[in-house]
Amino acid sequence: MRRAGLALAAIGLLFASASAHAQTYDPSYPVCMQIYGPVGYFDCRYASLEQCRYLATGRSASCAVNPYFVEKKPAAPRRPRRTNSL
C-alpha cells in the first residue's frame, strides 16, 4: 500500500513539472507559413502574404494570416502642456 502511494506521488510530480508546449504562432509577425511533411510546423516570420508565398514556391507549404498577431498602433502625438503664465 505504501509503494502505491509513493508511485502516485511520483507520477503527480512528473505531471506537475512537465513543461508547457510552446505557442505554435509567433505573435511578432503577421503571416505564417505552414510546412507539411513528416514533421510539419509553422514558420511565422513573414511581413506579408506575398513574401511568404514567394518563399513557399516549390515547397509543400501554404501561407496564412497569423491569428495571434497584434498590430502595434502608433502612439498618439503628445500635446504640449499649457502653463498658466499670468
DSSP letter for 38, please: T
pTM for this entry: 0.57
Domain layout of the chain by residue ranges: 22-69
Euclidean distance between CA atoms 53 and 45, whole angstroms: 12
pLDDT tens per residue across span 18-40: 444 456 788 889 999 999 999 99
Q: What is the pLDDT of residue 23?
A: 66
Q: What is the pLDDT of residue 86?
A: 61
Mean model confidence pLDDT for the chain: 78
The low-confidence residues of the chain, meaning pLDDT below 50, are: 6, 8, 11-21
* Assigned C-alpha cell, 17: 513539472
Q: What are phi and psi of 22, to 5 degrees?
A: -70, 155
Q: What is the pLDDT of residue 20?
A: 42
Euclidean distance between CA atoms 16 and 18, whole angstroms: 6
